[in-house]
Each structure stands twice: as C-alpha cells, then as structure tokens.
Amino acid sequence: MKRKFYTFVSIAVAASLLAACGNTGGKEAEKESAKAGTHHTNSEVLAAHKDLNQKPVPLKMERIGPHDVKIEMTAQITDIEIDKGKIYKAWTFNGQVPGPLIVVNEGDTIHFTLKNMDPAIPHSMDFHAVHASPSKDFVDVMPNKSGTFTYPANNPGVFMYHCGTKPVLAHIANGMHGMIIVKPKNGYPTDNEVDREFVLIQNEWYKYNDMDDFQNGVPSYVVFSTKALKTGDRNTNGDTFTLKEEPLVAKVGDKVRIYIENVGPNEVSSFHVVGTVFDDVYIDGNPNNHLKGLQTVMLPASGGAVVEFTVTRPGNYSIVTHQFNHAQKGAVAILKVTETGEDDSGH
C-alpha cells in the first residue's frame, strides 16, 4: 500500500515537473518520447535507447584566444560497467560517467556547444562555474540538435557541471554530471609544495532509470572515479572496482593534491584519506577558502574542494567517504605509496 502510494506520488511529481517546464523542452520531450514509443515508464530503458550504445566521443577543447576557450561536448547513451559485470545504459556526456574533466583559467570566456546525440530526449548543460541566465544559457538542446552558449568563468575553483533538463534528478542520476576546474589566476599558496595531483569524483548509482528509487530510495552503489589532468593520466568511470584494482600511485614523502567533487545527486560526502591529515584544504577550490589540519572534508551534493596531504610511509592508503555505509557500497579508492613512486605490484 505504502509502496503504491510512493510510486503514485513519484509519477505525479515527475509528470508535474514535466508539465511545469513549459515550452523549453518538456512538451517537446513528451512529444519526442511519445513518438519514440517511450512514454513514461519507470525503471526501464527507453525504447529509443534499447539498441543504443554510442561510442565515447573525445572531449573537444580548444583555446581560441588568450581568454577564450571553445568546448564541444556530446550528450549520448553509452553502456557503463558500474559494478563487476553490471552494465548501466547511462545518459552521459561524451560516453563517460562522470563526464570528461574540463579545465579553464579564471577569467576565461567559455564558448560551449552541446551536441545532443540522444535520439529521444533533450539534454542541457549547467556549469556551476559560470555566471549565466539559466533560462537562456542552460536551456534544453533537442534530440539530434546542437546548441551553443557563451559565458564567463570568473571564479576560481572546483565545480560541478550537470544536465539541467527536467526532471533534473533523473538526468543526473542516470549519469549526466562531471567536474570543471577553474584555475586561479594567482594559483594556490601551496602550489610549490605539491608533488602529485589527482582528480577524484564521487557519484551514486540507483536502480536503472527508476524515478521512485532516485527520489525515495538509497543508492545501490556509491563510487569514485578519476579523470585525466594531463596527458597520460587515466579517465575512469564511476564504478566499484577500478580504483581498488588499479590504485593511484605516489612516492613516500610526496605532498599529494586531490581535486575532489561530489556530484551526488543526493548524498553528501565525508571525504577522508586513511593514514594522513589534510594539511591544506581549499573549500570549493577557492584559494581564499584556505583551511589547515582537517581530518575529513564535508562535501555537500555538488560541492568540491582541493585537499593536500603528505604521505610519510609506504603502504596502501584508503580514500573513502567516512559515511561507511557508502564506503561499503563502493566508495573506496586506493592510493598506493611506494619508495619509487611507481606501482611495484605489476599493474
């Protein structure tokens, strides 16, 4: 009985969210999905997505002026292995979940194009790093169409981006999220001390495309991924196993910096590295938000930080959210610290 009620409520809420979004995409989306024969069934692969597994498309990012960056991304449907043998037909940016890392400089203007390769539903882009008019600059891009938007990134930091198409929860929970770093003009006061840098993103996975579970349930998995800061770095998807089997690696004595972002969609992260203390933390990655000596950094849904710590002894350091129900569901990554700074286990 209770279950039925929740299902009813969630369908009603989803329907009203769709109805509420007026002429920006909801109606179009309904039309499109009706055309595709996919009208509103929960927990299912949309009919138009069933035979779709679009090959990941590399991020296109090009500096076109001293303060201008051109970025082109795709919205696409791609299979992601979220747990050993468990495939999620994700709604993605560029075929990765989280989407590719974007790095720009403080003061850059972003010239952004979203190419929507999804044949069935609209998608959009909401960068937390920019000042924009959401109703103009973050609007829906219809299936098989492109949209171009321009906005400045004037605040340094570590920010979330995500699809903002209604219902937003479904688009984020199905995989449309990522990290954008806006590098501070004058750097961080600790730049000279840092030996190694990594990116980590925390996200949740729920039952497949299940609005009721997204809204009222608990995550099936909570996971970490890493993204490439420079050529040669790895891009992994948010899964339960990769960063345990193939750890991040550092050298004894290194000061390690991690750009961390919690994309949620629903849970907070209590970010902690076992065996060390964060000497320097910049909340949301802004050099003005400098804190010292933290054991755990609280990241709200969409929150980011830069954390720095020194690894003094060799061994495996577990990187976790200290909400251990979530660590148990996957949110553990290993930082392997060796004398040489190379992984000596044969990976």
What minimum distance in Å lies between the beta carbon of 41 and Cu ion? 18
Instruction: Identify the DSSP state of 55.
Output: P
Which region among 122-130, 224-232, 300-308, 315-323 touches Cu ion (by CB under 5 A)? 122-130
Residues paired with residue 80 on neighbouring β-strands, in sequence order: 88
How is residue 276 written in tokens? 């060390």
Which residues are CB-neighbours of 194 under 8 A, at least 6 positions away? 255, 256, 257, 308
Nearest distance in Å: CB 118, Cu ion: 8
Nearer to Cu ion, 176 or 243 (CB): 176
DSSP 195-217: -EEEEEEEEEE-STT-HHHHHHS
Judged by DSSP in three states, 171 sits in helix
- Site size for Cu ion (CB under 5 A): 5
Q: In the 3-class helix/strand/coil scheme, how is 57-109 assigned residue by residue?
A: CCCEEEEEECCEEEEEEEEEEEEEEEECCEEEEEEEECCECCCCCEEEECCEE
| Binding of residue 90 to Cu ion (CB under 5 A) | no
Question: Which is nearer to Cu ion, 158 or 163 (by Cβ)?
Answer: 163
From CA 247, how far away is CA 241, in angstroms rounded? 10
Min CB(157)–Cu ion separation in Å: 24
Nearer to Cu ion, 171 or 255 (CB): 171
The region of 143-151, 176-184, 240-248, 337-345 touching Cu ion under the rule CB under 5 A is 176-184
Q: Say which DSSP state 48 is in.
A: G
Closer by beta carbon to Cu ion, 180 or else 335 = 180
CB of 113 to Cu ion, least distance (A): 15
Q: How far is the CB of 175 from Cu ion (least distance, A)?
A: 9
From 66-74, 116-124, 296-304, 321-329, span contacting Cu ion (CB under 5 A): 116-124
Nearer to Cu ion, 176 or 283 (CB): 176
- Interaction between residue 123 and Cu ion (CB under 5 A): yes
- Please return the burial class of 338, using the count of CB atoms within 10 Å of its CB with bins 0-12, 13-18 and 19+: middle
Asked if 176 interacts with Cu ion (CB under 5 A), we say: yes
42 or 338: whose CB is closer to Cu ion? 42
Nearer to Cu ion, 210 or 284 (CB): 210
Shortest Cβ distance from residue 117 to Cu ion (Å)?
A: 12
Q: How far apart are CA 120 and CA 37, in angstroms?
A: 10
**Three-state secondary structure call for residue 317:** strand
Q: Are 147 and 105 in contact (CB under 8 A)?
A: no
Residue among 97, 103, 60, 104 nearest 76 (CA): 97
Q: Does 173 contact Cu ion by CB under 5 A? A: no
Nearest-CB residue to Cu ion? 163
Q: CA-to-CA distance for 88 and 106, rounded, in angstroms?
A: 35
Question: Structure tokens of 281?
Answer: 């933390």
Task: Give me the least distance between CB of 178 and Cu ion, in Å please.
Answer: 12
Of 136-165, which residues contact Cu ion (CB under 5 A)? 163, 165
**Sole binder of Cu ion in the list 171, 227, 255, 326 (CB under 5 A):** 171
In the bound state with Cu ion, the residue whose beta carbon lies nearer, of 120 and 201, is 120
* Contacting residues toward Cu ion, per CB under 5 A: 123, 163, 165, 171, 176
